[in-house]
Chain A
Amino acid sequence: MAVNEHRPTVADIKFQVKEGSSLSSATFIFGDEDHTLGNALRHVLMQNKEVDFCGYSVPHPSEPKMNLRLQTTGRPALELLKEGLRDLRDLCNILEERVEREIPDAEDEES
């Protein structure tokens, strides 16, 4: 018998622009994402000077969806979204490098 019969629902669309969005202010729908990416991405986007407003929400906890609202001061929101994702990726790279450098390996600790 399977230990867990329940499987998490999987979103059918990974990325979508919500109806009613305009070029500079849009709502993006991310499939299979939640607060993990939502809040981090929101924070990173808010650091961008060209972002006027950014917020995210998870409309319903049992739907694998995350909405991100992005309003810019003029440039296309999609472009800034990509920049935000790249910034977050850069942050990961920096973080990884620091972790590798500063935190001793488990073996070192034992000796």
Chain B
Amino acid sequence: MLGRVTKYRVKNDAPSEVFEAASEQERKDRLLLSYAERVEKTLDVKAVQSGGGHTNELVFDLVGVDASIANALRRILLAEVATVAIEHVYMFMNSSIIHDEILAHRLGLIPIMANPRMFEFVGEEGGEQDEPTEFNTCVFKLEVKNPADPADMPDPMPTGTSYAAGPRRTMNVFSGAMEWCPHGDQVERFEGEGGLRPVHDDILIAKLRPGQEIVAEMHCRKGIGKDHAKFSPVATASYRLLPVVTLKEEVEGQEAEELVAKCPLNVFDIEDLGGAGKRAKVARPRDCTMCRECIREPGWSDKVSLSRVADHFIFGIESVGMLPPKELLKDSIQVLRQKCDSMIAEVEAFESGVDFDEAMP
């Protein structure tokens, strides 16, 4: 085994190699650095003005890391950052048309505005094992009835309910009808966050005909998306590589107009050269989706080149709403570090428990 010299090198994921350095000297210097020092030099994070400026959305540039790191963060955001969601539904009365289990499932998917950091996992060490406590569970109740006699309907209608259009008095039940039942010191603990509630008040849960009613109690616990998608804190988390659109030759006059018209994402602009006519220029390469429309017609691939920067990720996070996307991103980094830490501990425990040489058969 020792002394074998064959090495397979693939750009961007090559073992201990530096490809993009200003000079040979710099390349050599960088090779002497530790991994952390090298990352320190290449890594860059830049916030990008997000689409609609919506606070639940974050777009940023992650530069100088491998796809495996970006993908680890994406996977953790989707499946391993904890949130609080409805887990147990105690149905006391359900005469609506929706079956108990379907209703329970619908309720489970409603995002709950509860800071997951203020909760423990059920069965977490230190906490009482599988028993629900005020530290690992929060309770909501849903009590709605569409009276058979219209005269019994309170005025105004209970929060989170309304009549559907039409003369038939069908009642809509929205997530706003869920009521938080604080236990223990939860009122004080969640005071700063305005109490616990569903993230959105206008999610339709069920429809009730006159005479039907639902009475249920819901217990929420902390969990991760790996267990059930309802715990996923993001609507989506994704990344794409930064596109590079270049014009290999000058595209002028009529052709420039054509090129601008071709691109559905408006990547190109016309530059007015004064007396000398018009010239196309690449104005918004970030918007390019690599649809290849601009090089589809014969001859155009000689004029336009499409490529990507292999270590520049445009990372997008859309939060469901319980935590701002920046917090989610920080949480995901923490989860990854936590994985490393616990694995280091495991390896060390293994080392101290068994002599490595002996463990080898």
Does B302 reach chain A (CB closer than 8 Å)?
no
**B35 near A82: Cβ-Cβ < 8 Å:** no
Q: Smallest CB-CB separation from B56: which chain A residue?
A: A106
Contacts A3-B107, A40-B69, A91-B39 given; does A47 touch B16 at CB 8 Å:
yes
Q: Smallest CB-CB separation from B74: which chain A residue?
A: A36
Total of A-B residue pairs, C-beta within 8 Å: 188
Output the least CB separation between B40 and chain A (Å).
6
Q: How far is the CA of A40 from the CA of B71 in the complex (A)?
A: 8
B45 in complex: contacting residue of A99, A109, A110, CB < 8 Å: A99
**B45 near A89: Cβ-Cβ < 8 Å:** no
**A87 near B89: Cβ-Cβ < 8 Å:** no
Does B357 reach chain A (CB closer than 8 Å)?
yes
**A96 near B356: Cβ-Cβ < 8 Å:** no
By CB atoms of chain B within 10 A, which of A51, A78, A81 has the most?
Answer: A78
Q: How far is the CA of A96 from the CA of B337 in the complex (A)?
A: 10
Does B314 reach chain A (CB closer than 8 Å)?
no
> Which of B168-176, B248-256, B327-335 sits within the interface?
B327-335
Does B119 reach chain A (CB closer than 8 Å)?
no
**B100 near A1: Cβ-Cβ < 8 Å:** yes
Contacts A36-B75, A103-B60 given; does A1 touch B47 at CB 8 Å:
no
Contacts A3-B104, A15-B350 given; does A103 touch B343 at CB 8 Å:
no
Does B324 reach chain A (CB closer than 8 Å)?
yes
Q: How far is the CA of A1 from the CA of B360 in the complex (A)?
A: 49
A88 in complex: contacting residue of B14, B60, B336, CB < 8 Å: B336
Give 1 or 0 for each of A25-58: 1 = CB within 8 Å of chain B CB: 1000010011111011011101111011000000
Output the least CB separation between A10 and chain B (Å).
11
B347 in complex: contacting residue of A51, A82, A92, A110, CB < 8 Å: A82
Q: How far is the CA of A86 from the CA of B333 in the complex (A)?
A: 14
Does B228 reach chain A (CB closer than 8 Å)?
yes
Q: How far is the CA of A102 from the CA of B91 in the complex (A)?
A: 48
Output the least CB separation between A3 and chain B (Å).
3
**B356 near A23: Cβ-Cβ < 8 Å:** yes
| CB interface residues, B 327-361, toward A, < 8 Å | 327, 329-330, 333-334, 336-337, 339-344, 346-351, 356-357, 359-361
Q: How far is the CA of A21 from the CA of B87 in the complex (A)?
A: 43
Contacts A15-B347, A81-B347, A91-B36 given; does A42 touch B68 at CB 8 Å:
yes
By CB atoms of chain A within 10 A, which of B65, B72, B86, B348 has the most?
Answer: B72
**A94 near B66: Cβ-Cβ < 8 Å:** no
Does B287 reach chain A (CB closer than 8 Å)?
no
Q: Smallest CB-CB separation from B54: which chain A residue?
A: A109
Q: How far is the CA of A44 from the CA of B80 in the complex (A)?
A: 21
Q: Smallest CB-CB separation from B6: which chain A residue?
A: A52
B105 in complex: contacting residue of A3, A14, A102, CB < 8 Å: A3
**A74 near B66: Cβ-Cβ < 8 Å:** no
Does B101 reach chain A (CB closer than 8 Å)?
yes
| CB interface residues, B 1-51, toward A, < 8 Å | 1-2, 4, 13-16, 31, 34-36, 38-40, 43-47, 50
Contacts A3-B107, A23-B360 given; does A30 touch B69 at CB 8 Å:
no
**B108 near A4: Cβ-Cβ < 8 Å:** yes
What are the residues of chain A within 8 A of B4 when measuring CB–CB?
Answer: 52
What are the residues of chain A within 8 A of B45 when measuring CB–CB?
Answer: 95, 98-99, 101-103
Does B76 reach chain A (CB closer than 8 Å)?
yes
Q: How far is the CA of A49 from the CA of B359 in the complex (A)?
A: 26
**A43 near B66: Cβ-Cβ < 8 Å:** yes
**A100 near B346: Cβ-Cβ < 8 Å:** no
**A106 near B325: Cβ-Cβ < 8 Å:** yes
Query: 7 shortest A-B CB distances, which residue pairs?
Result: A3-B108, A106-B324, A90-B36, A15-B346, A92-B337, A49-B16, A87-B35
